[in-house]
């Protein structure tokens, strides 16, 4: 099964980025990037996704502390990564409690960083 972008945008809507920065900094305008959930690959026993961090105009993604974000993403209630993992697992026909993990931040370019998001079939 393929996880299409329309489904992923429903599970992790664009507005969640502003809500995250509003909770973190008291204002969405303080955020240096937009977060988008994308699918890289789905096999019978693993879904490989990523949270892409796209630099916002006039902001500096490289100047931000994006390397500590996996730990923040894992725990932050606004991002609700556990809920995202549950919705994806259910869409794939897997157990709702399928294990998931976030990898280390990867710098793809100065304007794009990615946090790998892996869900394994339970």
Residue 106's CB is within 10 A of a number of other CB atoms, namely 14
pTM given for the model: 0.93
Token duo for residue 27? 């204002």
Q: Is-contact 53 35, C-beta < 8 A? A: yes
pLDDT at 25: 87
The ranges assigned to domains in the chain are: 5-107+114-120
Whose tokens are 């993403």? That residue is 73
For residue 84, give the 3-state DSSP assignment: helix
Query: Tens digit of pLDDT for each residue in 64-116?
Result: 667 788 988 999 999 999 999 999 999 999 999 999 999 999 999 989 999 99
Per residue in 96-108, pLDDT (tens digit) is 999 999 999 999 9
Residue 18: the pLDDT is 95
């Amino acid at each position: 099964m393929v996880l299409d972008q329309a489904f992923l945008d429903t599970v992790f809507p664009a507005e969640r980025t502003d809500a995250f920065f509003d909770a973190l900094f008291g204002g969405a305008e303080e955020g240096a990037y937009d977060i988008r959930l994308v699918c890289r690959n789905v096999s019978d026993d693993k879904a490989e996704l990523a949270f892409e961090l796209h630099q916002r105009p006039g902001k500096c993604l490289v100047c931000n502390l994006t390397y500590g974000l996996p730990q923040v993403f894992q725990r932050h209630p606004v991002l609700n990564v556990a809920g995202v993992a549950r919705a994806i697992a259910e869409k794939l026909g897997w157990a709702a409690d399928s294990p998931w993990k976030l990898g280390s931040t990867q710098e793809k370019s100065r304007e794009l960083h990615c946090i790998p998001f892996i869900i394994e079939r339970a």
